[in-house]
């Protein structure tokens, strides 16, 4: 599989998972809406998203010796 296609599938999968989580967990959707309105909550959302990205791509990688 082409690396671009694989990256596109990963991004699509993450968007679908985020959409499903927001559909199932209404408080999370309310938090995102509140974060968009108030800057102090937006920073927490950015930090949580950065942590999720770090965990998704950081776990499972082999360290170079």
Question: What's the per-residue H, E or C state across 9-64?
Answer: HHHHHHHHHHHHHHHHCHHHHHHHHHHHHCHHHHHHHHHHHHHHHHHHHHCCCCCC
Residuewise pLDDT in 10s, the chain (65 residues): 788 888 888 889 988 988 887 788 888 778 777 777 776 767 777 888 888 888 888 776 666 66
Sign of CA dihedral 22, 23, 29, 33: positive
Q: Where are the domains of the chain?
A: 3-58
Res 6: pLDDT: 85
Residue with tokens 């990688």: 61
Res 47: pLDDT: 86
């Amino acid at each position: 599989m082409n690396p671009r296609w694989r990256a596109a599938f990963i991004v699509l999968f993450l968007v679908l998972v985020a959409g499903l989580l927001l559909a199932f967990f209404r408080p999370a959707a309310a938090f995102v809406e509140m974060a968009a309105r108030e800057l102090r909550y937006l920073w927490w959302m950015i930090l949580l998203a950065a942590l999720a990205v770090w965990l998704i791509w950081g776990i499972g990688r082999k360290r170079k010796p």
